[in-house]
Amino acid sequence: MAAVRILHLHSSFNLGGQESRTVRLMNHFGDQAEHTVLSAVPDAFGAADAIDKRIKVSFPKDAAPSLAGMPGMGRYRRLAKYMKKFHLVLSYNWGSMDGVMARTLLGQSMGLPPLIHHEDGFNHDEIDRLKARRNWFRMIALQRSHALVVPSKTLEQIARNAWHQPPDKICRFPNAIDTEHFNRRPQRGSFPGFQKRYGEIVVGTIAGLRTVKNLPRLVRAVAAAGPNVRLAIAGEGPERGAIMAEADRLGIADRVMMPGFLRDPARYIRLFDIFALSSDSEQYPISLVEAMTSALPAVSTDVGDVRNIVARENLPYIVARQDEDALAEAIRKLAEDASLRASVGEANRLVACSQYDEATMFARYRQLYGSAMKRADFARQS
The predicted-structure confidence for 121-174, as pLDDT tens digits, reads as follows 887 777 778 999 999 999 999 999 999 999 989 899 999 999 999 999 999 999
Does the CA dihedral 72-76-79-82 come out positive or negative? negative
Number of domains the chain is built from: 2
**Distance, C-alpha 39 to centroid of its chain:** 16
- Sheet strands (E) in 70-200: 88-92, 115-118, 147-150, 170-172
46 and 110, same domain (yes or no): yes
One domain for residues 106 and 183: no
| Same domain for 34 and 170 | yes
Q: Identify which of 60-64, 123-127, 362-366 has the greatest average pLDDT.
A: 362-366
- Domain range for 308 is 179-355
How many alpha carbons lie under 13 Å from residue 326 in its C-beta half-sphere?
13
Neighbours of 305 (CB within 10 A): 20
Inter-residue contact 115 to 107 (CB < 8 Å): yes
Q: How many CB atoms lie within 10 A of CB 133?
A: 8
Residue 249 pLDDT more than 80? yes
Residue 264, pLDDT above cutoff 70: yes
Residue 265: pLDDT over 80 = yes
Q: 20 and 88, same structural domain?
A: yes
Whether residue 122 sits in one domain with residue 103:
yes
Length of the chain: 382
Of residues 339 and 70, more confidence is placed in 339
Any idea what the CATH number is for the domain that residue 87 is in? 3.40.50.2000
3 state SS of 271:
helix
Amino acid occupying residue 66:
S
> Are 274 and 346 in the same domain?
yes
Residues 84 and 31 occupy one common structural domain: yes
Kindly report, residue by residue over 284-321, the tens digit of the pLDDT.
898 999 999 999 999 999 998 999 999 999 999 999 99
> Rounded to whole angstroms, how far apart are CA atoms 92 and 135?
15
Q: Are residues 77 and 121 in the same domain?
A: yes
> What is the per-residue pLDDT for 244?
97
Tell me, yes or no, whether 240 and 335 share the same domain. Answer: yes
Distance CA 9, CA 270 (A): 34
Nearest CA to 11 out of 256, 279, 212, 234 is that of 212
Same domain, 208 and 246: yes
Question: 180 Cβ partners below 8 Å, 6+ apart?
Answer: none
The mean per-residue pLDDT over the stretch 316-344 comes to 98
At residue 382, the pLDDT reads 58
pLDDT, tens digit, for every residue of 192-236?
A: 999 999 999 999 999 989 999 999 999 999 999 999 999 999 999
- Do 146 and 191 belong together in one domain? no
At 151, give phi and psi (nearest 5°): -95, -15
- Phi, psi for 118 (deg, rounded to 5): -125, 130
Rounded-to-integer distance, Cα 362 and Cα 173, Å: 10
Q: How far is CA 108 from CA 54, 60, 87, 144, 364, in A?
A: 35, 26, 15, 9, 27
Q: Are residues 291 and 221 in the same domain?
A: yes
pLDDT for 24-45, tens place per residue? Answer: 999 999 999 999 999 998 888 9
Q: Let me know: does 110 contact 81? Beta carbons within 8 Å.
A: yes
